[in-house]
Amino acid sequence: MTRAFKILTFQASAIAATALMMGVVADMARAAPAAAPAAVTIGNFTFNSPTLTVKPGTTVTWTNADDIPHTVVSKDGVFKSKVLDTGERFSFTFAKTGQFGYYCSLHPHMTGTVTVKA
Amino acid sequence: MLDDEGDNRRDFLKCMAWAGTGALFAFNGGVGSSIGLDAALAAPARRSRAASFTFLQISDSHIGFNKPPNADALATFREAVAKVKALREQPDFIIHTGDVSQLSRDDQFDDADQILKEAGLPVFFIPGEHDMLDPEGGKAFLNRFGKGSQGAGWYSFDHKGVHFVALVNVADLKPGGMGNLGTAQLQWLRADLAGRPSSTPIVVFAHIPLWTVYADWGWGTDDSAEALKLLTRFGSVTVLNGHIHQITQKVEGHVAFHTARSTAFPQPVPGTAPSPGPLKVVPEQLPGMLGITSASFVRGRERIALIDSTLGA
């Protein structure tokens, strides 16, 4: 009996803990809904993908895979990377909704857009 | 120089066989012409007229570049400058048409500066987009190479009757656009050219081509037409650019356009590759790739000839 009780107690605790954890996860999700990071690779003088739609709170990371340096510069002055040599990265977290156009200030024919919507 | 048509033609054809670190330009009595580096090395120094002179264009040294197809852009730049030093007839000066450095770092500018000093010649610079990458957007370049220039680094000067105009088309580039001169510079150009007789030979140099070579890769300058409009009344205009690491040329009326090779790495012919990134030839092929020579040899009243040579020669 004692042993069975103990097991039951353990199970109850486990359920409680799981419930608690789920609650925490739910809270986290409410704070930043589905804010899985997003990635854009710069290759062949192109932003891949040139258009990207993310949820508010998403961190987008650009990685330069070209042999030539590039930059990631917001058209509206919202963000601006330093020069990214081969393999270097730049990240920006989009807190607010909206459309964010950007370009490479060295090769301005390279353009992209991040759309942030809930 | 180049006063004997037959010799001239032979020299020209000989030049076609080798190819380029730089182009050597000769002005003869106010009318431009040029000969290749190797021909100049081989030919006895002769000057038929007092006013003739030569100058040399070097471009896209990309000091700091160290990836395929060139692990040491500094070494190839040094070879290019050694070639200039070996010229029997020394040019009056050198113009560097931009992308001196790969990343606008002080050590890269310094390396370029030190090597160019070995030539012992005056050097006139304009920035390429790779020279604008310091946090202050070109200050490092201008502090070192742009003394006395205006705005983003433009200026003009006269040499033996020829008016040289150095333009900057890599500053304040617009999203989705190509090269850009901007209103302030165009206003300055208008004032700079005003009052000059139309018979004045003009040489314009800028980094990105001042005509559209290939829009898909941004190889052109959005507002170049406005600059060219100001130049149409002149009888002899030569436009010298870099940026695309290969020779292209075009003649339109009195205006001859020409782009120089890089001393660092070749880039693909427009549309022949997914991107304008470095053409990754094997090391042995590098001088040979640079060795494809092309020349503009325009006869007549405004005779201008530009011939290029390579490190492989």
The answer on A71 and A15 residing in a single domain is no
Which of the residue ranges A28-37, B5-14, B134-143, B147-156 would you say has the lowest mean pLDDT?
Answer: B5-14
How many CB atoms within 10 Å of residue B111?
A: 20
Residue numbers of the domain that contains A55: 38-116
User: Residue A86: its chain B contacts at CB < 8 A?
Assistant: 67
Q: Rounded distance, CA A85 to CA A87, Å?
A: 6
* DSSP-based three-state secondary structure for B286: helix
ipTM of the complex: 0.79
User: Do residue A57 and residue A15 come from a single domain?
Assistant: no
When divided into structural domains, chain A yields a total of 2
Residues A107, A81 within the same domain: yes
Same domain, A21 and A78: no
Asked whether the predicted pLDDT for residue B219 surpasses 90, the reply is yes
| pTM (2 d.p.) | 0.81
| Residues A68-106 pLDDT 10s | 999 999 999 999 999 999 999 999 999 999 999 999 999
Q: Do B68 and A75 touch (CB under 8 A)?
A: no
Total Cβ atoms within 10 A of residue A8: 10
A60 and A19 in one domain? Answer: no
Judgement on whether residues A27 and A45 belong to the same structural domain of the protein:
no
Let me know whether A24 and A44 are in one domain.
no
* Residue B29 forms contact with A (CB below 8 Å): no
The residue of chain B nearest to residue A111, with distances taken between CA atoms, is: B176
Both tokens of residue A76?
């509206």
Contacts of A69 in chain B (CB under 8 A): 102-103, 130, 133
Nearest CA among B307, B309, B311 for reference residue B2: B307
pLDDT digits (tens, 9 = 90+) for B25-68: 655 443 344 444 444 443 333 333 335 778 899 999 999 999 99
Under 8 Å CB pairs connecting chains A and B tally to: 57
Domain architecture of chain B: domains with CATH: 5-308 (3.60.21.10)
Are B224 and B179 contacting, i.e. CB atoms less than 8 angstroms apart? yes
Residues A77 and A53 in one domain: yes
Side chain identity at A83, as an amino acid letter?
A: V
Residues A27 and A46 in one domain: no
The closest alpha carbon to B171, from B142, B140, B128, B228, belongs to: B128
Of B175, B215, B277, the CB nearest to A67: B277
CATH number at residue A72: 2.60.40.420
Residues A69 and A105 in one domain: yes
Question: Which residues, at least 6 apart from B62, have a Cβ–Cβ distance to it below 8 Å?
Answer: B73, B99, B101, B102, B130, B262, B263, B264, B265
Cβ distance A108 to B173 less than 8 Å, yes or no, reads: yes
Report, in this order, helix, strand and coil percent for chain B, each rounded to 5: 25, 20, 50
Residues A46 and A21 in one domain: no
The H or E element spanning position B24 is strand B23-28
Q: Which run of H or E residues covers position B1?
A: none
Is there a single domain that holds both residue A16 and residue A71?
Answer: no
